[in-house]
Amino acid sequence: MRMRGGAIAGVFMLLLPIFCANLLSHASPTIVKDLNAPKFRHSRLAKSALQRQTSNEEQSELWTPLAHQGWKPCTESDAASTVPEKSEGYVQVFLDGGLNQQRMGICDAVVVAKILNATLVIPQLEVNPVWQDSSSFMDIFDVDHFINVLKDDVSIVKELPDEFSWSTREYYGTAIRPTRIKTAPVHASANWYLENVSPVLQSYGIAAIAPFSHRLTFDNMPKYLQHLRCKVNFQALAFVPHIRHLGDALINRLRNPPREGNMVSNNYLREVTDLKPKQGAGKFAVLHLRFDKDMAAHSACDFGGGKAENLALAKYRQVIWGGRVINSQFTDEELRSQGRCPLTPEEVGLLLAALGFDNSTRLYLASHKVYGGERRISALRNLFPLMEDKKSLASSEERALIKGKASLLAAVDYYVGMHSDIFVSASPGNMHNAMVGHRTYNNMKIIRPNMALLGQVFLNKTLNWPEFQESVVEGHKNRQGQIRLRKAKQSLYTYPAPDCMCQA
């Protein structure tokens, strides 16, 4: 009996991995959890990074603002930028995506209304399918400021008049409607709108364009229309007061941390926004750690969670994107050497340490839910023990108006990021693009990771800390906010020169 029991147990142990894999293959991607804690892949470098020393000269150079680069924001108006005496009708747009994709869509919508000599209805933001956020334009942006800044350029209304109240998202979702434009090509020209949308406006007095994201070209546009895009993005889009107030409180707490043992009063949010920064106030950097489950799965890279994690991500990838993730055809080494793997928190920490950030750095973590949670973030926190985020800096009462609302949470992070001494984006994306463009416009320091270089150096397991640091520093000398002129097909929201800027 004992032998038979042992044999059964042995067979069970052999079949257990197969059973687990089969279980994972049928599990819902929303409930699959990591079964193994991720293994840190660069423990030897991390050990050296913990012992790193940075000189005063290195610190001074790191935190010194960018020198003037010979460019300045263009604010002059153009004679063509005037409101027409008679509007051709109303233009509606329905915008999907996250906050920063919607931000770019809003800018384009203003320009399309200008092209058509039409009145723009405040854009409607779709419920985000990933984060289930139903925040409206008026929940995020100061609508009165928006309309006032653009009053001499485009006619804008908060809602449609009663005669067009039927024109809703639900109306267009139930049948084909002659007032809906759903054929706008990606990066359509100004002439396309004149040829295809103007007739609809003339016939019905209203046109609803959906989908709309990325439906306006960046090239071969009149200068005054490009300038209008810049005006919307950099001047008209201001966050609502409660976002700015919370952001100001976080910024002050980062620059002037309370002394150890001092309790923060319930009125600190109100009190701190009235303070003026003290001379020599502390500096801080904002890190946008773009490492969520969607990005991890879409990249098809290995992140150290073992077979269970790889199976879970593969299943998630198949359910969400089907066979459209071509990266999965490459090995992890191939993807990393091409710079196509998002940086893990561990790798971001090593990058920052190599660039000269030390354990006294006040680092603000701007991020949605990090894939792997605190287990992955711990490697970053070991290097930067003064790392903060919204939860650590503000009470639950102070965060009540933004709780559970991804767009408002992102807006606070954006606001803090625009007031930091340095902004670092871990991986490319819409937040990266928007912040890089906005800070470039204001000549503010940023750090853009050299993904291909980092992928290669992290694959080289023979590098010691001095060699790793030298490679990183050398590879990021010209990636800290230096002006790069926009090329054809590139977005002016990421590369604002020369469209939004003039040579001083």
Q: Are residues 374 and 447 located together in one domain of the fold?
A: yes
Shared domain for 124 and 177, answered yes or no, is yes
Judged against a pLDDT cut of 60, whether residue 391 lies above it is answered with yes
- Decide if 249 contacts 268 (C-beta within 8 A): yes
Asked if the structure places residue 436 within a domain, the reply is yes
According to the 3-state scheme, what is the secondary structure of 469-504?
Answer: HHHHHHHCCCCCCCCCCCCCCCCCCCCCCCCCEEEC
Contacts of 414 (CB under 8 A, 6+ apart): 99, 100, 239, 366, 431, 434, 435
Range list of β-strands (E), 387-427:
422-425
Residue 119 lies in a domain: yes
Average pLDDT score over the chain: 87
pLDDT recorded at residue 84:
84
Q: How confident is the model at residue 271 (pLDDT cuts 50, 70, 90)?
A: very low
Which residue has better confidence, 304 or 205?
205
Q: Is the pLDDT of residue 12 over 50?
A: no
Contacts of 46 (CB under 8 A, 6+ apart): 40, 346, 349, 350, 379, 382, 383
390 and 462 belong to one structural domain? yes
Residue 76 in any domain: the answer is: no
Residue 275 and residue 227 in one domain: no
Reported as a pLDDT band with limits 50, 70 and 90, residue 78 is low
In this model, does residue 310 exceed pLDDT 50?
yes
12 falls within a domain: no
* Same domain flag for 471 and 393: yes
- What are 119's strand-pairing partners? 90
Question: Are 285 and 191 contained in the same domain?
Answer: no
Distance between CA atoms of 417 and 406, rounded to whole angstroms?
Answer: 16
Q: How many domains does the chain have?
A: 2
- Say yes or no: 347 and 453 in one domain: yes
| Same structural domain, 101 and 157 | yes
Q: What is the pLDDT of residue 131?
A: 65
Q: Are residues 147 and 279 in the same domain?
A: no
- Judge whether 194 lies within some domain: yes
Q: What is the DSSP string of 322-343?
A: TT--GGGGS-HHHHHHTT-SPP
Within a domain: 22: no
* Among 210-219, 270-279, 354-363, the least confident range: 270-279
Q: Do 284 and 380 share a domain, yes or no? A: yes
Q: Let me know if residue 77 belongs to a domain.
A: no
pLDDT(352) > 50: yes
Q: CATH number of the domain at 440, please.
A: 3.40.50
Confidence of residue 13 (pLDDT cuts 50, 70, 90): very low
Domain around 280: 56-69+241-257+268-291+342-503
pLDDT band at 182 (very low <50, low <70, confident <90, very high): very high
Q: pLDDT (tens digit, 9 = 90+) per residue, 223-249? A: 999 999 999 999 999 999 999 999 999
Q: Same domain for 281 and 165?
A: no
Indicate whether 283 and 183 sit together in one domain.
Answer: no
Is 84 among the domain residues? no
pTM: 0.88
- Rounded to an integer, what is the distance from CA 46 to the centroid of its chain? 27
Ramachandran area for residue 97 (φ above 0: left; ψ -120 to 50: alpha; else beta): left
User: Percent of the chain at pLDDT above 90?
Assistant: 68
- 438 contact partners, CB below 8 Å, separation of at least 6: 233, 234, 418
Query: Mean pLDDT over residues 117-131, rounded?
Result: 87
Angle at 167 between CA 162 and CA 171, to 5 degrees: 135
- State the residue for tokens 């952001």: 247
DSSP state, residue 179:
T
The answer to whether residue 403 scores a pLDDT higher than 70 is yes
What is the spatial distance between Cα 40 and Cα 380, in angstroms, rounded to a whole number?
11
Spatial separation of the C-alpha atoms in residues 74 and 225, rounded to whole Å: 13
Question: Bridge partners of 388?
Answer: 364
